[in-house]
Chain A
Amino acid sequence: MEAFKFSSDPIKSVFNIFKHRKHQFSELFKSITENPLVGVYILQDNKFKYVSEGWSIITGYSNNETVDKMETLDIIVPDDINSLKSYVNKRMSGVIKTADSQFRIIRKDGEQAYVKVFGNLINYNGKKAVAGILIDITQQHAIEQELKDNATKYKSLVENSLVGVYLIQDNRFRYVNNHFCEIFGYECDEIVDILDPPLLVHDDDKEKVANNIKRRLNGESGSLKYEFKGLRKDNSTIYVQVLGTTMIYKNRAAIMGTLIDTTDLKLAEDALKESEHLFQILLNLAPYPISVTDESLRHLIVNKSYCNIFKIEEVDVLGKTPHELNFLDEEKYYSNIKEMVLNSNRVDNWELALFNNDGEKKHFLYSCIKLYYKDSTLIMNTFIDVTESKITQEELARHRNNLEILVKDRTDELNKRNQELNNSNRLLLEQKKNLEITLKNLHTAQQQLIQSEKMASLGLLSAGIAHEINNPLNFIMGGSLAIENYLKENPGNNIVEAQTYLNAINEGVNRTADIVSSLNHYSRKNDMERTSCQINNILNNCLTMLKSKIDSKTEIIKNLSPTLPNINANEGQLHQVMLNIINNSIQAIDNHTGKIQLATKVDDDQIIIEILDNGKGISKEVINNVFDPFYTTKEPGEGTGLGLSISYNIIKEHNGTIKINSEPGEWTCIEITLPIKETTNG
């Protein structure tokens, strides 16, 4: 037991303690050997000679199963046999320190366990033996293994990270990963422990970066995230974002951080910013109100024009709906817009009235389009302010309406006036007609007056003349007759020859007497007086009276009925009628060889008198007027226009009819009928 003394070998020490202070440490020894975590064994002649209770607990084999029966090879994992042998050899050759004292064993239950062995040579029962202790490190090993795995994992993670990782201490990079190097374009060994960190920073941001590092090292800030402009090895500029944090590395303060190359992002962001800026400029430059709203028309963006037109600050609009802002004139607009957007995704130039924030009504041409942006639906709205033109339009419409009303009023008024005028006109026309009739009557009366005056004076005159002529005629006639008698009473003279001359005298006297007689008839004073008249005589009288006017070439054809009865009539007036008509015929015949045919006949109870000539006739236009008073186609002085009118009136007074027919250029025929028996109305 002398061999047991304190040495650097802990097991030996324990044995030495036990050897020298057996009495003192027997309890201790016992506690160790009975410690379930520590197994104690003695190996001699390749067989276990002693195993403690701890051994049994670790290996699962009992004392009886082990001692003098098992050897190390029975328990060691075959893969570890060589390393055990190497360990044993080292120990045997006196090497004390060795790290390779870990082995795997196979427990009785078949499970593997990790053990650490500390063996030592001893004398046991006078023979060399190995005494050792065995500690179950299975659990510890598992932990170590996990740590080792984790370390590998993290290292791999860091090494292969797409994020640059760095560690700075004492103003030097103590670690950088591959990506960090890639970002800055260096090799790892060009950075670690060599490169001054500020060299990776662009001059613009050197101060900022230095400041941040200082702040973190001073503990003023824990972790810091910021961006700076970096400088690559090739002097090109990059943008990086770092997230650095302070840590203790090897007992001293250090900064560890990750770094991302945000150059692309930055450029994209700049471009975006630029385009946003442009967008903003455009938006605010647009003369029309523009807004972007969500689906419920809640404002998200409005431009300056929008604010100007709606008289509202941007901040007061955003987040609110037109409805909440009391912009809507009528609620139906809102639902209509929603419906249209829903159906067609857009609205084009829709006329819309909205109130602005000052309560003024504005008219717009409203357009909107639905668009999708970042998973949400937006509506882009544009407004064209047409208030002024709308007002103008409305005013125009109002004016037009007023005008229409005015025009209508005026028209109504005019119509009324017109109606009144028409009525007055009708009245006037009626009065005019009455006046015309009166005038006509007056004319007729006047003509009759003129005529009767004329006739009266002519009657007086011709009566006087007739008397004065008739007396001398009587002298001639009487004288002639007396001569004739004388000649007859005193023969011897040539009575025959004298008779011829006397006849000539008598003829002259007779003819003269006829003319005077006709004149008398024509101008009979008492117009109303009816006497028994022979129409044939009247016609003859008239022919006689007009004889001087009748051209010698004109043929007078008389078809006078020999049985024509006398009628009671005003002889003078009938003379007047026949004279007028025959005189017209004479004038119509003019210069060519003409015919005037006078015919009388009886038809039932009336006499028909027909006076036909082959003169120039009467045109259709004229024929209706020939009975009108003062209507004449004759040269001034040739006719008064009264002849046929007076004739018409005279025949009417006699209850007869007078008709005129004519073929222009061919003939004219006047037919007069007169009742044979005088009607009692006269």
Chain B
Amino acid sequence: MDNKGNKILYVDDEPMNLLLFKALIGKKYEVHTAASGFEGLQLLETNPDIKLVFSDMKMPEMNGVDFITEAKKIHKDKHYYIVTGYEVNNDINNAINAGLISASLKKPFNLDLIFKTIEKDL
């Protein structure tokens, strides 16, 4: 099946991560990237058909949970994920428990897990 039409947003302050995510996931899905939460929010404005949102946790000015919190206020129908170099921390746990995010994924990327997650929630 062609998943090219399924839009996925990835937010990370590291351009390298954005590049690699696009290179690895973009083969199967239409990946949009944003270098910050603000940028991510703008992208969501302009691309309301984005179904899945992956965000780094630690970012300047607005971290992943903050960004997702803001995004979810406007875009409730989307799945949100944290992709982080951290082990699970309280903010992430609380976000999972609050149903804010669907799952927390780790860096370095586990591609299998990412694809399974995407397939499950699309």
Interface pick from B29-37, B39-47, B71-79, B104-112: B104-112
Asked if B85 and A471 sit within 8 Å, CB to CB, the answer is: yes
Known contacts A471-B14, A485-B27, A478 near B20 by CB under 8 Å? yes
A237 at the interface (CB under 8 A from B): no
- Chain A residues with Cβ below 8 Å from B108 are 470, 473-474, 476-478, 509, 513
Give the docked Cα–Cα distance between A91 and B4 (Å): 241
Asked if A470 and B90 sit within 8 Å, CB to CB, the answer is: no
* B14, B23, B58, B108, most chain A CB atoms within 10 A: B108
Chain A residue nearest in CB terms to B13: A471
Chain A residue nearest in CB terms to B86: A467
- Chain B residues with Cβ below 8 Å from A477 are 108-109
Q: Quick one: which of B88-122 are within 8 Å of A by CB?
A: 89-90, 106-109, 111
A481 at the interface (CB under 8 A from B): yes
- Of B17, B19, B27, the residue contacting A471 (CB under 8 A) is B17
- Chain A residues with Cβ below 8 Å from B106 are 470, 513, 517
B62 at the interface (CB under 8 A from A): no
Give the docked Cα–Cα distance between A469 and B85 (Å): 8
- Chain B residues with Cβ below 8 Å from A463 are 86-87, 89
- Chain A residues with Cβ below 8 Å from B86 are 463, 466-467, 470, 520
Asked if A467 and B23 sit within 8 Å, CB to CB, the answer is: no
A25 at the interface (CB under 8 A from B): no
Give the docked Cα–Cα distance between A20 and B111 (Å): 237
Give the docked Cα–Cα distance between A482 and B21 (Å): 9
Interface size on B, residues (CB 8 A): 22
Give the docked Cα–Cα distance between A485 and B22 (Å): 13
Give the docked Cα–Cα distance between A517 and B84 (Å): 12
- Of B20, B58, B84, B89, the residue contacting A525 (CB under 8 A) is B89
Asked if A470 and B107 sit within 8 Å, CB to CB, the answer is: yes
B1 at the interface (CB under 8 A from A): no
Asked if B90 and A526 sit within 8 Å, CB to CB, the answer is: yes
Q: Measured between C-beta atoms, what is the minimum distance from B75 to chain A in Å?
A: 26
- Chain A residues with Cβ below 8 Å from B111 are 481
Give the docked Cα–Cα distance between A537 and B24 (Å): 29
- Chain B residues with Cβ below 8 Å from A524 are 87
Give the docked Cα–Cα distance between A466 and B86 (Å): 6
Asked if B24 and A482 sit within 8 Å, CB to CB, the answer is: yes
Chain B residue nearest in CB terms to A473: B108
Q: Measured between C-beta atoms, what is the minimum distance from B85 to chain A in Å?
A: 3
- Chain A residues with Cβ below 8 Å from B107 are 470-471, 473-474
Q: Quick one: which of A513-544 are within 8 Å of B by CB?
A: 513, 516-517, 520-521, 524-526
A10 at the interface (CB under 8 A from B): no
Give the docked Cα–Cα distance between A517 and B107 (Å): 10
- Chain A residues with Cβ below 8 Å from B16 are 471, 474-475, 478
Q: Measured between C-beta atoms, what is the minimum distance from A500 to chain B in Å?
A: 19
- Chain B residues with Cβ below 8 Å from A471 are 14, 16-17, 85, 107
Asked if B87 and A521 sit within 8 Å, CB to CB, the answer is: yes
A468 at the interface (CB under 8 A from B): yes
Interface size on A, residues (CB 8 A): 26
Asked if A475 and B89 sit within 8 Å, CB to CB, the answer is: no
Give the docked Cα–Cα distance between A475 and B24 (Å): 12
Asked if A474 and B109 sit within 8 Å, CB to CB, the answer is: yes
- Chain A residues with Cβ below 8 Å from B19 are 478
Asked if B87 and A466 sit within 8 Å, CB to CB, the answer is: yes
Chain A residue nearest in CB terms to B27: A485
- Chain A residues with Cβ below 8 Å from B17 are 471, 474-475, 478
Asked if A467 and B84 sit within 8 Å, CB to CB, the answer is: yes
- Chain B residues with Cβ below 8 Å from A521 are 87
A359 at the interface (CB under 8 A from B): no
Give the docked Cα–Cα distance between A282 and B41 (Å): 149
- Of A467, A478, A509, A513, the residue contacting B21 (CB under 8 A) is A478
A479 at the interface (CB under 8 A from B): yes
Chain A residue nearest in CB terms to B90: A526
Chain B residue nearest in CB terms to A519: B87
- Of B20, B27, B89, the residue contacting A474 (CB under 8 A) is B20
* A474, A475, A521, A526, most chain B CB atoms within 10 A: A474
- Chain A residues with Cβ below 8 Å from B57 are 467
- Chain B residues with Cβ below 8 Å from A468 are 85
Q: Measured between C-beta atoms, what is the minimum distance from B56 to chain A in Å?
A: 9
Asked if A467 and B20 sit within 8 Å, CB to CB, the answer is: no
Give the docked Cα–Cα distance between A157 and B21 (Å): 189
- Chain B residues with Cβ below 8 Å from A467 are 57-58, 84-86
- Of A481, A520, A525, A526, the residue contacting B24 (CB under 8 A) is A481
Give the docked Cα–Cα distance between A170 and B45 (Å): 206
Chain A residue nearest in CB terms to B58: A467
- Chain B residues with Cβ below 8 Å from A474 are 14, 16-17, 20, 85, 107-109
Chain B residue nearest in CB terms to A513: B108
Q: Measured between C-beta atoms, what is the minimum distance from A544 to chain B in Å?
A: 14
Give the docked Cα–Cα distance between A482 and B106 (Å): 18
Q: Measured between C-beta atoms, what is the minimum distance from B108 to chain A in Å?
A: 4
Chain A residue nearest in CB terms to B84: A467
Give the docked Cα–Cα distance between A516 and B107 (Å): 10
- Chain B residues with Cβ below 8 Å from A525 are 89-90
Q: Quick one: which of B49-81 are within 8 Å of A by CB?
A: 57-58
Chain A residue nearest in CB terms to B19: A478
Asked if B87 and A517 sit within 8 Å, CB to CB, the answer is: yes
Q: Could you give, for residues 489-523 of chain A, a 1 whenever the CB lies within 8 Å of some chain B CB and a 0 otherwise?
A: 00000000000000000000100010011001100
Give the docked Cα–Cα distance between A255 and B76 (Å): 193
Asked if B85 and A475 sit within 8 Å, CB to CB, the answer is: no
Using A470-B85, A474-B109, A482-B24 as known contacts, list a sample of 12 further A-B pairs with CB atoms less than 8 Å apart, ordered by residue number in A.
A466-B87, A467-B58, A471-B14, A471-B16, A474-B14, A474-B108, A476-B108, A478-B19, A481-B109, A481-B111, A516-B85, A517-B87
Interface residues of A (CB under 8 A from B): 463, 466-471, 473-479, 481-482, 485, 509, 513, 516-517, 520-521, 524-526
Interface residues of B (CB under 8 A from A): 14, 16-17, 19-21, 23-24, 27, 57-58, 84-87, 89-90, 106-109, 111
Closest 7 CB pairs of A and B: A470-B85, A478-B20, A520-B87, A477-B108, A467-B85, A474-B108, A474-B107
10 contacts between A and B (CB under 8 A): A467-B84, A467-B85, A471-B16, A473-B107, A475-B20, A478-B21, A478-B23, A481-B24, A521-B87, A524-B87
